Amino acid sequence: MAIKLLLVDDEPLILKGLRFSLQQEGYEVDQAADGEEALDKLFKNTYDLVLLDVMLPKLSGIEVCQRIRETSDIPIVMLTAKGEDMDKILGLEYGADDYMTKPFNILEVKARIKTILRRAAGKREQVKPQLSSDGLFLDGTSREVVADNKPVNLTVKEFDLLQLFMSNPSRVYTREELLEFIWGYDYIGDFRTVDVHIRRLREKIEPDPAKPTHILTKWGVGYYFGHA
């Protein structure tokens, strides 16, 4: 069965060029020109990956990404004409798996898609155990987290970070390693993405985020999971 992609962009030439190039690779490609149309197609169909422009009519790409993440962990690649770091971080913060800045090379787009789909397939095949430590419980199958007997709502990347930490307690991860393990490749210069996710994760699972007891910092090195 062919892998099915959804392209979401309001620029007809970009849609046409991407669609043609990806169909040449054997992908089945659908498209949408605004945020509302994208959500409607996602509700009615099943896709393996979404290429999602940030600047869209009706609903922005960020809003669409948030809506998708409420019910699905489908891989999302954000497309943006802007180069500011905060735009990239914002897209990833709401659950995107990757981002690309326009204008982009179609060969790079194809390579990114293959990498992300390979990682997604690996996650689906892996049976993840239940993990617990000092009032914190994580279920890798249902992707549920409970802290101090209260359910915690995590984004996809926050959950993946916590699962990595809890699976390897006391193991210190550098920002570079976390970017590679969680986001799939090296985000050169975007280490703030890791810091943003760690801060938000602490806010959700720590009794006192200012004095964390679960996700700890090894100054000058990186982060690790402290366990009782």
Tokens of 218: 């090894």
Q: What's the rounded Cα separation, in Å, for the pair 161 and 120?
A: 15
State pLDDT tens for residues 69-85.
Answer: 888 888 898 888 766 55
Q: Given a cut of 50, is residue 127 above it in pLDDT?
A: no
Q: Given a cut of 90, is residue 114 above it in pLDDT?
A: no
Query: What are the residue ranges spanned by the domains of the chain?
Result: 4-125, 130-225
Confidence label for 20 from pLDDT (cuts 50, 70 and 90): very high
Q: Class for domain 4-125, per CATH?
A: alpha beta
Q: Given a cut of 80, is residue 51 above it in pLDDT?
A: yes
Q: Given a cut of 60, is residue 194 above it in pLDDT?
A: yes
- Three-class HEC string of 81-107: CCCCHHHHHHHHHCCCCEEEECCCCHH
Q: Given a cut of 50, is residue 175 above it in pLDDT?
A: yes
Averaged pLDDT of the chain: 85
Tokens of 28: 């089945």
CATH 1.10.10.10 fits 130-225, yes or no: yes
